Copies of this chain bind each other. A is one copy, B any other.
Amino acid sequence: MTIRDIAELAGVSAATVSRTMNGKDGVGQATRARIERLVAEHQFTADSSAQQLSTGRSRAIAVVFPLHVSAVVMHPIYPALLGALCDAAEGAGYDVMLLTVSSPDRIGHLIDAVLRRRVDGVVLPAAGPRDRLIHDLRAVGAPTVVIGHRSTVDGVGWVDCTHDKAAAELTRMMIEGGRRNLTLLNGPKSVSACRLRSAGFWAAIKEAKQRVVATEVETEWEADAALVRARELFAAKPRPTAVLCGSDTIAASCLEAAREVGLSVPGDVAVTGFDDRSLGLHTTPTLTSVQMPLRETGEAAAQLLIAMIEGDPPKRRHVVLPTRVVVRESAALP
């Protein structure tokens, strides 16, 4: 069933049906009503590749899956985020294409998809500050939204959450709980979220009324790398009485290191994580962590990108969503 079939049934031309379906004016009241009824009755939808061919737009967006980037493999693109993104896109009549850029030479494929308008815009769920992709996309004029990194590239939209505030809140909690020797066991600073957490941590330290000793240590995401760092922490001279970790995995390693040397948590040392997923519920003790607004992030990214594509006056090209600290055993008051 094509637009011409509908036209025939309505006794009009295909052009009129097209205008009606696209909400353009220049169609009489009665005609429009008749066509709309017919369309609804037959559940007719226009063929998207034909539309794409004549309009040069696809009504599809790409989510780029950056494989082999360890910082990302460790921080998997949460199903919740992707799911919400799809839902929002579909709600706006857009398809979602999943593209892999598993190596630099695959960038060409993505750029080609953009140039050929197989996609109207791109979401990068895990780009970093120095990601080539952002510039490449910008160069070909692709509407682009980055998740989890506050890009300064002109015209690029982003959605992020309050990593900094969450870190600050945790830090204040520790200080108010009487902890005076704090360590931020952060993830790699190449990840934007980790920089923000660092900023929040140090801001809270600075504004503290009490005198506290604070240090920051960087580790890779991997559990064993984190374990090594954590052991070093607990072997150090003035032992930290609170360790704020850059992820729940890191925090789990930290708990393990504490157990090894017989430190009680949270008695001797408080430990917190980040990225609250189910992991923190299963450690011993359970983990104080920070909940990310995953669904909201996915939804906001889709909406922002589509607004950019459709040239809507973008109220905000930059969205910051709130996080939530979840207190569990590992950081209860001493």
Contacts and interface: CB of A to CB of B under 8 A. Distances in A.
A65 interface: yes
A239 interface: no
A112 B99 CA distance: 22
Interface string A42-82: 01010111101100001010010101000001001111001
Contacts of A49: 49-50, 52-53, 58, 116-118
Given A87-B100, A100-B83, A278-B279, A112 B45 contact: yes
The quantity of this chain's copies bound in the complex is 2
Contacts of A45: 112, 116
Given A47-B116, A116-B47, A282-B249, A97 B95 contact: yes
B97 A98 contact: yes
Nearest to A96: B98
Contacts of A67: 83, 86-87
A100 B86 contact: yes
Nearest to A280: B282
A317 to B, nearest CB: 24
A104 to B, nearest CB: 15
**Range, interface on chain A:** 35 or more
A99 B95 CA distance: 7
A263 interface: no
Contacts of A60: 97
A109 interface: yes
Contact of A252 (B52, B82, B99, B282): B282
A284 interface: yes
A194 B43 CA distance: 39
A282 B60 CA distance: 40
A13 interface: no
Contacts of A255: 282
**Sorted from nearest, which 9 A-B pairs have the closest CB atoms?**
A252-B282, A76-B79, A49-B52, A86-B100, A49-B49, A96-B98, A284-B284, A67-B83, A49-B53
Given A53-B53, A95-B118, A252-B282, 15 more contacts: A49-B49, A49-B117, A65-B83, A65-B86, A67-B87, A86-B99, A87-B100, A90-B100, A95-B97, A223-B281, A249-B282, A256-B282, A278-B279, A279-B279, A283-B283
